[in-house]
Amino acid sequence: MSAIENYLYAVQRRVSEPLKNFDSDHEAKNGPNEPDTRSDGDIWDVLNPAEREDTSGSTFCRPAHFYFYKSIRFRAEEPGEWGVYVMRGGRDLIAKRFGPYCSSDEEATQTANDFLMACGTAHYRFDVFAMSLEAIQQRWLYVPYRKASIGVNAPPLEAAFVHQAALEWAAKRGLTAPVTGIFELWTANTVLHLIPRRSLGAYLATALAEGFGALPGPARYDQAEWANTIPETLRDECPGPHVLNQPPMVELTADMPSTNPTSEDWLARWGIEHYTRLATGDYRLGESLVIFGDDFPNGKFPVRITEIDGDFVCQETNLSTVAELPTSVCGNADISRNRHLRNFHGVNKHLKSVLGGVLRVSEEFVDSAVLGLLKIKGLCHIDATRDAGKPPMQSWAQIASNLLPVSNSNCAVPECQEALVRAGLKHLAKI
């Protein structure tokens, strides 16, 4: 057997060990037998991550029109070789993109093959990463993740992992510009593609081990490095490219149909079912709203929401302004990990109340105007997260939180302003 076959066999044996598949409440987790690849639809749902995970781009230009990866796990369910498959027609379109950077058509074709193989190999590396977690936890994780990744509000984490790996491949060959252009056509949402590698690894580990619903909570940084590490003996074990003689299904041009989602499109995308549209065109939500890894037009929250009857969570998006944030949150609010949200100027004019009492922010990203937080009705505590970097000696979030809840903002704001100035944080002492 090959090295990867031996590795998978070892994982299968470890997962199959008895009495290791119960949580602290003695409830059975994923069973000890072979992973169940059945789904309500087709085996293709879990076979082909390139097709199924990231569908935010045009339906006329998806990665699976060019390549796909078939895991070694599914040799029994789907006939044929496992590994990376390349569509001849799609490859030839990409070769045209590489033409100006190559000395001949043959070199451009080979470069296109190599690029698509690099994308497929990234899926393979994620597959091996999943096997390592399965061995540690002694339960199957990859297939449940694959099924969940095609559901509502599931961020395209594996697509982001592939994007980062492919750009690393491109940078070594002076092909960053054409590869970036290809990815812009493959997906409209590249927010997660740009986050630090370690954070992405932590999110992948979290989604695999706990499901996509756990992403807004503490990320599994203890497993993050494994996502980008593969044993040397397994590094070159992925077969391919297997070239399929398939004509081009698309034209790889910048003239793809664009979409302009409506407010109700956004709500459906986020899995919201209980809402009321008001005469003003605003919305009142009858349930919590959780958003992770989304891409908003111009960095502004895309739906006018007057009230959320529950919690509001918006993390790892391209949100860059507090303008148009939901007006009233009946539960707690979490706008942490938004790496472009650096200024809270006028936040209390948009996010007017957090009745659950807790607002979560990423302290290290904010560099201006935090005093408006003291004017948010119902706020009792600011929970400051810091995913990276050394905490400061004086925390602006702690200084502000010490003055909550505020009975008289006319007194609390100047007091907080003075404390921030004394702490050397004058740049934050604005409303």
Mean pLDDT for 399-405 is 92
Contacts 24+ apart (CB under 8 A), 94-101: 94/66, 94/182, 94/252, 96/252, 97/178, 97/181, 97/182, 97/252, 98/175, 98/178, 101/174, 101/175, 101/178
Alpha helices in 312-408 (DSSP H): 396-401
The predicted pLDDT at position 391 comes to 56
Residue among 188, 182, 190 at smallest CA distance from 251? 182
- Would you list the domain boundaries of the chain? 3-244, 263-428
Angle at 124 (CA atoms; ends 118, 125), nearest 5 degrees: 90
3-state secondary structure of 158: helix
Strands 328-329 and 353-354: parallel
110 confidence band (pLDDT: 50, 70, 90): very high
49 confidence band (pLDDT: 50, 70, 90): low
The predicted pLDDT at position 112 comes to 97
Most confident of 43-47, 173-177, 364-368, 386-390: 173-177
Is the pLDDT assigned to residue 180 strictly greater than 90? yes
- Range of weakest confidence among 60-69, 236-245, 275-284: 60-69
3-state secondary structure of 361: strand
- Range of weakest confidence among 72-76, 210-214, 391-395: 391-395
pTM for the whole thing?
Answer: 0.84
Cα 356 to Cα 209, 273, 290, 330, 331, distances in angstroms: 29, 22, 15, 6, 4
The predicted pLDDT at position 51 comes to 47
Cα 394 to Cα 381, 382, 391, 418, 423, distances in angstroms: 17, 15, 8, 13, 6
| pLDDT tens, position by position, 344-388 | 999 999 999 999 999 999 988 888 889 999 999 999 999 988 765
363: amino acid identity, one letter: E
The predicted pLDDT at position 248 comes to 62
- The count of residues in the chain is 431
Query: At 125, which helix (H) or strand (E)?
Result: helix 105-137
Backbone angles phi, psi at 362, to 5 degrees: -100, 105
